[in-house]
């Protein structure tokens, strides 16, 4: 079976993780958001969904029913979170603070809160499933879970903590993407390692 989907997923994860980590490092150094970090954060998060798909396809036989349920929750949480990250970094930053405050007093507040809870739950469940599989580096999963947990709570945590979450989560995404890329490469030379998508 062709492993190009796994390679594409790994590449998406590399770009997403590197962009998120770079944005966090830059914001930590500068002390605030700038146009570059807004583009990196807002534009790269959807690519993380690609990595999730690749990780699931690689591990699905080891993940079992729990892992499948965890993947679904993480997939939905990551998808909704990507929308909020885009809006936050490309739209909300250009609105007056009073407008954003008014927006967050209405239904948007509950939508953001529900997304945070879904994304956080998915992160912890999928992280636990990956750890149970035993096929990915445990430290990579730990960085992924800790970092993305901080990002899920972005509206509740101080900015310096969120920036550290960017760096940790980004590093975890890159590490998991490298593990997926290596698996895809090894699968090309060892037919018994190739994923069965059907």
Residue ranges of domains in the chain: 4-193
114-125: pLDDT as tens digits? 999 999 999 999
Residue range 164-189: average pLDDT?
94
pTM for the structure as a whole: 0.90
Residue 53 has pLDDT above 80, yes or no: yes
Residue 80 has pLDDT above 60, yes or no: yes
The percentage of residues in the chain with a pLDDT greater than 90, rounded to a whole number, is: 75
pLDDT recorded at residue 198: 39
The percentage of residues in the chain with a pLDDT greater than 70, rounded to a whole number, is: 95
Per residue, the 3-state secondary structure of the chain, as one string, reads CCCHHHHHHHHHHHHHHHHHHHHHHHHHHHCCCCHHHHHHHHHHCCHHHHHHHHHHHHHHHHHHHHHHHHHHHHHHHHHHHHHHHHHHHHCHHHCCHHHHHHHHHCHHHHHHHHHHHHHHHHHHHHHHHHHHHCCCCHHHHHHHHHHHHHHHCCCCCCHHHHHHHHHHHHHHHHHHHHHHHHHHHHHHHCHHHCCCCC
Residue 156 confidence class, pLDDT cut points 50, 70, 90? confident
83-97, 139-153, 172-186: which range is least confident on average?
83-97
């Amino acid at each position: 079976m062709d492993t190009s989907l796994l390679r594409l997923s790994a590449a998406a994860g590399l770009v997403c993780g590197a962009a998120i980590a770079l944005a966090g490092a830059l914001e930590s150094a500068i002390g605030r958001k700038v146009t570059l970090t807004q583009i990196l954060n807002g534009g790269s998060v959807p690519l993380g969904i690609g990595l999730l798909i690749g990780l699931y396809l690689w591990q699905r036989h080891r993940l079992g029913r729990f892992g499948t349920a965890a993947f679904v929750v993480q997939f939905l949480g990551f998808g909704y979170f990507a929308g909020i990250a885009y809006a936050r970094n490309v739209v909300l930053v250009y609105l007056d603070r009073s407008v954003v405050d008014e927006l967050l007093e209405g239904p948007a507040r509950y939508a953001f809160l529900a997304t945070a809870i879904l994304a956080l739950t998915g992160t912890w469940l999928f992280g636990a499933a990956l750890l149970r599989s035993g096929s990915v580096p445990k430290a990579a999963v730990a960085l992924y879970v800790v970092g993305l947990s901080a990002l899920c709570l972005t509206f509740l945590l101080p900015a310096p903590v969120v920036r550290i979450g960017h760096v940790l989560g980004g590093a975890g995404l890159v590490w998991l993407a490298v593990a997926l890329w290596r698996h895809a490469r090894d699968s090309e030379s060892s037919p018994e390692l190739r994923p069965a998508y059907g």
